[in-house]
Amino acid sequence: MTQPLSKFQSFLVFAGKVRRLAAPYFNSEEKWKARGLLAAIIALNLGAVYMAVLFNEWYRLFYDALQNKDQEVFWRELGRFSYLAFGFIIIAVYRFYLTQLLEMRWRAWMTGHYMNRWLADKAFYHLELARFAKGEDAPPDNPDQRIAEDMNLFTSYSVTLSMGLLNAVVTLVSFVGILWSLSGSFAFSFNGSEYSIPGFMVWMAVLYCLVGSVITHYIGRPQIALNFNQQRYEADFRHHLVRVREYSESIALDRGEPVERRHLSGRFGEVLGNYLKLINAQKRLTWFTSSFGQAAVVFPFIVAAPRYFSGAIQLGELIQISSAFGQVQDSLSWFVDNYSRLAAWRATTDRITSFEESFQALQAPEAATAATTHEEDALALDDLQLALPGGVALLSARGLSLHPGDSVLVKGPSGSGKSTLFRGLAGIWPWAQRHLRLPADFAERAMFLPQRPYFPQGSLRDALAYPAPADRYSDTELQQALRESLLPDLVNKLDEPATWGQKLSGGEQQRLAIARAILKKPRWLFVDEATSALDEPAEAALYTRLQALVKESDGALISIAHRPTVADYHDTQWGLQPGEPGGARFRLLPA
Ligand SMILES: Nc1ncnc2c1ncn2[C@@H]1O[C@H](COP(=O)(O)OP(=O)(O)OP(=O)(O)O)[C@@H](O)[C@H]1O
């Protein structure tokens, strides 16, 4: 008994997941449109079943007219057919159109919703970090695929399959009545007594489909996991292709093509291997479902034949029985026919649910951090503890502060946590205990210049102004910033579109990021090896400009650099020293 119960429970769990994922849309600001569309689709589906009932009745009248050679009824019924068909066509067209419309709107809403959540509170970054911590295979893999593809599949399957189920149930209820009234009872004698089974055809249909559904589930079960994996392997393969494109130059210089080929072939091999398994699973199921469908064509004739040949029913009734049996069988075998899609729906639902759960899991480490706003105009590191994703304490900093006019150089061995210190100060590192006091304007006036800056695709103007809109700055301001950051050749290319992160050299990209700082005029400027690709004269000129920049806005400069010449532009040094036994690996101390 435990087996069917656990199956039923797993169905309830699945239904709960679908409800939780669907509810936000139907309760959203678009709820009246969404509910209205859903109600219209339900009405059209019920209309379609009603049309099928009318057609079924029409079959009896039409075939009886044929058998009786009754021309008048024949032509009248043909006339009736035309307006029945007209109604059916209108319902079919609008059922399709409104269903697609609902799927599209729902997808648009869900995609927007998850896109916002992914981009909110640095979730996109923390999800990646969490995956580093838990291992590459930890969910959610490929969030891009969740947002792009799974939202589409989920909304489409949810609408078509739930409407299909509704249709099947209503058809079943409508036609079971018809079939019951047509089928008569089946009389037989057993052990000297006479027995009669009323609604014999109905029982035959139920038995036929019950056996069919159980066998389908048994044969088709492996498809659920295979479907889940297929999406994942496809996304991994695509992701690796994109990486080769992104790092094309390094790979070409390293002559890494054979390795990439091997990796790509490996990933594609997984795609194919799993797909082959899926095809085989589907083939096994198709053997059964098509035999089941073919047998269903003759099954009602075989069962009803004795009554026809004994003269108990006419040809019209026989045809009506077969059509009603077809409808009952169709609706009872909804499960058989939709098994693969149900498996895919379930896999998609599981993937989005794990995506959703990973957002919820993220909130915990963030809540542990604390940073208060300072009344004083300074950045105070009262007690900052930073750990590695696995939990190992990496760095501790206590009792340090940064005031307007300060310029500090942070030094320490590679891997000691200098960049992580900046991540902790920026508030994006989740494994942090932050007892900081931040100046009131820190959120708006702090800027972090990384070693490898990011530029959005688009015009140079967009890349320079990022993340502010391009029209925030005039052409003169943009050109001036380019000149001051030693990029005079770019001043006439403001509207040129390009992938700037690939087109410009490493040093040019660093200069472009400095131009961005010149435009933004930060008060609290954090420079993490952001001049490492420049020659010494250029570095000197640009550091002098950055010093002047923070001075103009009465701010402070804090840098990370390995090159000794950078020390000339800073008044103070903080050093990362090995920590005490039992404590963090490194301590940040004034040098
Ligand atoms: N996303 C991450 N997942 C796991 N470990 C990480 C991650 N980011 C950084 N680390 C680890 O944290 C430690 C500190 O890294 P960090 O980049 O802060 O060092 P750094 O002092 O800036 O080094 P460098 O001078 O080489 O730039 C390193 O051991 C690094 O491997």
Kindly state if the Cβ of 585 falls inside 6 Å of ligand 1.
no
Our answer on whether the CB atom of 389 is closer than 6 Å to any ligand 1 atom is yes
Q: 81: burial class by Cβ within 10 Å (0-12, 13-18, 19+)?
A: middle
The closest-lying atom of ligand 1 relative to the alpha carbon of residue 529 is 27
Same domain, 347 and 379: no
Residue 150 within any structural domain of the chain? yes
* Pocket mutation for ligand 1, best pick of 419, 425, 576 (most atoms within 8 Å of C-beta): 419
In a domain, 484, yes or no: yes
Q: Do 429 and 358 share a domain, yes or no?
A: no
Q: Pick from 210, 211, 95: which is nearest to 164 by CA?
A: 95
Q: How many CB atoms lie within 10 A of CB 452?
A: 14
Question: Strand 371-373 to strand 186-190: parallel, antiparallel, or no bridges (unpaired)?
Answer: unpaired
Q: Is residue 482 located within the same domain as residue 526? A: yes
Is position 78 within any domain?
yes
The domain boundary residue, chosen from 366, 394, 418 = 366
pLDDT at residue 4, as a whole number: 53
CATH of the domain at 259: 1.20.1560.10
Tell me, yes or no, whether 60 and 161 share the same domain. Answer: yes
Which of 151, 134, 118, 121 has its CA nearest to residue 22? Answer: 151
Is the separation of the CB atoms in 565 and 539 below 8 Å? yes
| Strand, coil or helix: 449 | strand
Ligand 1 site, residue 129, Cβ cutoff 6 A = yes
**Nearest CA residue ID for atom 27, ligand 1:** 414
Query: Which of 366, 385, 420 is at the close of a domain?
Result: 366
398 C-alpha to ligand 1 centroid (Å)? 20
Residues 326, 222: one domain? yes
Q: What is the CATH number of the domain that holds 541?
A: 3.40.50.300
Distances (CA, A) of 357 to 19, 109, 228: 15, 19, 17
Percent helix, strand and coil across the chain, each to the nearest 5: 70, 15, 20
Q: Is the CB of 392 under 6 A from ligand 1?
A: no
Answer whether residue 1 is part of any domain. Answer: no
- Predicted local confidence at residue 272, as pLDDT: 96
| Number of domains making up the chain | 2
Asked whether 336 and 89 are in contact (CB, 8 A), the reply is: no
Report yes or no on 22 lying in a domain.
Answer: no
Domain that residue 491 falls in: 371-590
- Domain's final residue, options 366, 401, 417: 366
**Substitution candidate for ligand 1 out of 416, 421, 566, 577 with most atoms within 8 A of CB:** 416
Task: Check whether residue 335 and residue 417 sit in a common domain.
Answer: no
* Spans of the chain, pLDDT less than 50: 1-2, 365-368
Q: 123 C-alpha vs ligand 1 centroid, how far in Å? A: 20
Considering the domain architecture, whether residues 230 and 298 belong to the same structural domain is answered as yes
Q: Which atom of ligand 1 is nearest to the CA of 421?
A: 18
Point out the ligand 1 atom lying closest to the alpha carbon of residue 451.
27
Ligand 1 geometric centre to CA of 395 (Å):
11
Dump the DSSP string for 230-289: HHHHHHHHHHHHHHHHHTHHHHHHHT-HHHHHHHHHHHHHHHHHHHHHHHHHHHHHHHHH
| Interval 475-490: pLDDT, tens | 999 999 999 999 999 9
For residue 416 and ligand 1, the question of a CB distance below 6 A is answered with: yes
Residue ID of nearest Cα to ligand 1 atom 10? 388
Entry pTM = 0.77
Residue 18 lies in a domain: no
Say if residue 336 is in the same domain as residue 225: yes
Residue 82 in contact with ligand 1 by CB distance below 6 A: no
pLDDT at 1: 41
Confidence at residue 363, expressed as pLDDT on a 0 to 100 scale: 58
Put the strands of the sheet holding 572-578 in their side by side order.
371-373, 432-438, 379-387, 393-402, 586-590, 572-578, 407-411, 556-560, 524-528, 446-449
Contact by Cβ (8 Å): 334, 188:
no
Cβ(415) – ligand 1 distance below 6 Å:
yes
Q: Which atom of ligand 1 is nearest to the CA of 576?
A: 21
Could you tell me if 322 and 418 lie in one domain? no
Residue 323 parent element (H or E): helix 315-332
DSSP conformational letter for 147: I
In whole angstroms, give the CA distance from residue 325 to residue 366. 60
In-domain check, residue 355: yes
Query: Hey, what amino acid is at 219?
Result: I
Rounded Cα gap, residues 185 and 489, in angstroms: 93
**Rounded Cα–Cα distance for residues 579 and 591 (Å):** 15
Rg, Å, the chain Cα set: 35
Please indicate, yes or no, whether residues 496 and 377 belong to a single structural domain of this protein. yes
Mutation test residue for ligand 1: of 385, 388, 395, 558, the one with most atoms within 8 Å of CB: 388
Report the nearest-CA residue for atom 4 of ligand 1. Answer: 389
Site of tokens 């309760």: 27
**Does a structural domain hold residue 38?**
yes
- Same domain flag for 513 and 380: yes
Q: What is the pLDDT of residue 232?
A: 83
Looking at the structure, tell me whether residues 217 and 149 fall in a common domain.
yes
The preferred substitution site among 127, 132, 394, 418 for testing ligand 1, maximizing ligand atoms within 8 Å of CB, is 418
